[in-house]
Amino acid sequence: MTGANKGIGLSIAKGLAEQGMTVWLGARDLERGEKAVAKLRNDGLDVRLLVIDVADDTSVSQAATRLSDEIATLHVLVNNAGILVDVTTPPGEVPMEAIQSTFEVNLSGPIRVTQAFIPLLKAAGDARVVMMGSGVGSLSLITDPTSLYSGVNLLDYTASKVALSAVTVSFATELAPFGIKVNVVEPGHVRTDLNQNTDFISPDEGAVTAIKMAIIGSDGRHVGSYEAMGGSPGK
């Protein structure tokens, strides 16, 4: 999984490892990744480091090659890495550089990572891909005046998450014949570095839905979007 050395990603990695999985913890920074892996290993969990920068083609390719050398199948891929560049600039003034950097991580990142790991996912057969989305990735929610998401007007971040929902549908359609389920989840308002730890729920609480969708049964929903700690993956 990507973006797993802290916050929600670290909690998801821990939760999956507690399910008995061998977890490859993806991190851009070697030192931070090693610290995160050591922390989980101290808890007796089977966690290993995979250095991967989702915004870099070479890094993703190297990570996929390394993992292919280590394992024959990949049963779960969680695309968690994401950035939020600016929460104050109005849409009419957001610089293109900020938009491009946000899309490179939040949209192009999950695309290139998923593409790179498709062979391992197909080899597993009944695999799962989880995209870490957001409530602002739903056009129905951001245009509903009764929804709290309608008050969020972050051009670059919102657009990247809306596009990620469409990307999820595309991958789900392609991979369904191979028994691979692809879903996008909404973790809820989680306290992370992304929002200066100002939101309402803990990373462990925010990880619940992603973990559920990572271990969803073969009869579970496909291309679903779920609120934090809400919805049953079997329905």
Enumerate the domain spans of the chain.
Answer: 7-214
pLDDT at 179 exceeding the cut of 60: yes
Could you tell me where the beta strands, DSSP code E, fall in 102-203? 128-132, 181-185
Spatial contact of 131 and 183, defined as CB atoms under 8 Å apart: yes
Confidence at 30, pLDDT banded by 50, 70, 90: very high
Q: Select 7-214's CATH number: 1.10.760.10, 3.40.50.720, 3.30.70.270, 3.60.20.10.
A: 3.40.50.720
Place of tokens 């950035």: 83
Q: What is the pLDDT of residues 46-65, one digit of tens each?
A: 999 999 999 999 999 999 99
pLDDT for residue 190: 58
Least confident of 135-149, 150-164, 201-215, 218-232: 218-232
Which range among 80-94, 108-122, 131-145, 216-230 has the greatest average pLDDT? 108-122
Confidence at 192, pLDDT banded by 50, 70, 90: low
Count Cα atoms within 13 angstroms, Cβ side, for 74.
27
Task: Enter the pTM of the model.
Answer: 0.89
Residue 78: which of 167, 184, 163 has the closest Cα? 184
Spatial contact of 134 and 72, defined as CB atoms under 8 Å apart: no
* Encoded tokens for 214: 């990572």
Mean pLDDT computed over every residue of the chain: 89
Tell me the sheet residues that pair with 184: 131
